[in-house]
Amino acid sequence: MKKFILISALSLCSFNTLAGIAVIINPGNTSEVDADTIKKIYLGKNKSFSNGDKVNPVNQDGTSIADEFNDKVVGKSSSQLNAYWSKLVFTGKGTPPEKLGSDQAVLDFVATNSDAIGYIDSTKTNDKVKVIATF
């Protein structure tokens, strides 16, 4: 019985590590967005989508998905990214993306804002948003 419980627990842990990150936009947005553009948006280097519409990125605040996104997509740790944004804010050259507390908060924000882009656990996507990339 102990082996069964251990195997079940390990299976659940491995399932979570298989879950990826889904970058999402509002379904009404027809812009083309690639991985490099996503990185530039989250570093404040791109301020609009390919169709010219303003982009409104949102981050997650202190979640494991945020750490994974920063590492895989932006190429910086959370502390490096905080230092990067602190420098831009201090010099008046940028404002970091708003931080939301959960996948559901990001889903709701992106679903109701046509200019929004965000990221969530890929297992949490639904038909109210459009997935443009997975990592």
Q: pLDDT of 100-129, one tens digit each? A: 999 999 999 999 999 999 999 999 999 999
Average pLDDT over residues 78-88: 96
Phi, psi (deg, nearest 5) at residue 109: -65, -50
Overall CATH class of domain 20-134: alpha beta
E strands, the chain, where? 21-25, 56-60, 98-100, 116-121, 130-134
In 3-state terms the chain splits into helix, strand, coil percentages (rounded to 5) of 45, 20, 35
